[in-house]
Amino acid sequence: MSTTVSQIDQVKTTPWAGGREPFSVEYGKMMMWFFLLSDAFTFSSLLIAYGALRFSADAWPSAELVFQSVPGMIDHGAPLVFVGIMTFILIMSSVTMVLAVEAGHRNSKKEVAWWMVATVIGGFMFLGCQALEWSHLHHEGFWWGSIPKELDHFFKEAGTASPTYTQQFANLFFTITGFHGFHVFSGVIINIVILINVLAGTYQRRGHYLMVEKVGLYWHFVDLVWVFVFTFFYLV
């Protein structure tokens, strides 16, 4: 009995041991939640800044006027179609990540690998779509520090926004979507690293796929943030 007690005391006092208290959560997963919470504060501050400018302005650029193209196919007349495709791709990549985590719970190495591949492909597809959208907007003259004269003239005629508000919209759009895109890119790289470990049998030898679950938390967070970015910029 005394031996058992001393072993428990040793576990509790060992640096980094963590134990099972107070939330019964594995240490690494807890740290991931802390990171995501801090990252949520960053995105929240950016979106709050956007909202403060958006709702204090007398007029603001209409998303239906700015985002009405499908790059390479339709220049005008398809409002929010392309971003809808982007959103669908990212949501589906979140579904494949859920399936990868579920397969990990069953220790199915092959299924985890396939679903991770699908998740990586979805991430690259989203980044490719975002690159196309940015390239098209830049080609039209809509960029940091500059707005197309034709677009500004159209806004003036429509009475929807002034040049100042249009420029603020552009700056915030590229800053926030770029910051989110960086998170997606980082997530894709991390997913590739995890996929390599899956194929190498690292987690199979450990007897669990906890790392896949941790990365899954990050990927779901990135998807959730996109829902807010999509709402603020494309819908409101």
Q: Are 78 and 190 in contact (CB under 8 A)?
A: no
Q: Are 90 and 223 in contact (CB under 8 A)?
A: yes
pLDDT digits (tens, 9 = 90+) for 7-44: 444 444 444 455 555 566 777 888 899 999 999 999 99
User: Which residues are within 8 A (CB) of 8 and not within 5 positions of it... i.e. 6 or more apart?
Assistant: none
| For residue 180, pLDDT beyond 50 | yes
CB atoms within 10 A of CB 54: 18
* pLDDT interval class at 159 (50, 70, 90): low
pLDDT of residue 112: 96
| For residue 179, pLDDT beyond 70 | yes
* pLDDT interval class at 58 (50, 70, 90): confident
Supply 130's token pair: 């975002």
Closest alpha carbon to 188 in 130, 129, 116, 109: 116
Q: Are 203 and 104 in contact (CB under 8 A)?
A: yes
Q: pTM (2 decimals)?
A: 0.83
Is the CA virtual torsion 60, 162, 59, 172 positive or negative? Answer: positive
Taking the C-alpha atoms of residue 78 and residue 70, their distance in angstroms, rounded to an integer, is 7
Mean pLDDT, residues 132-137 taken together: 88
By CB atoms closer than 10 A (0-12, 13-18, 19+), residue 195 is buried
Show the DSSP H helices in the chain as ranges.
Answer: 2-13, 27-56, 63-66, 81-105, 109-139, 149-158, 163-199, 202-206, 210-230
pLDDT of residue 99: 96
pLDDT of residue 79: 77
Give the C-alpha distances (Å, rounded to integers) separating 54 from 4, 60, 142, 176, 231: 62, 7, 18, 14, 13
* pLDDT interval class at 73 (50, 70, 90): confident
| For residue 163, pLDDT beyond 90 | no
Supply 73's token pair: 């196919």
Please give the backbone phi and psi of residue 70, each rounded to the nearest 5 degrees, phi first: -115, 100
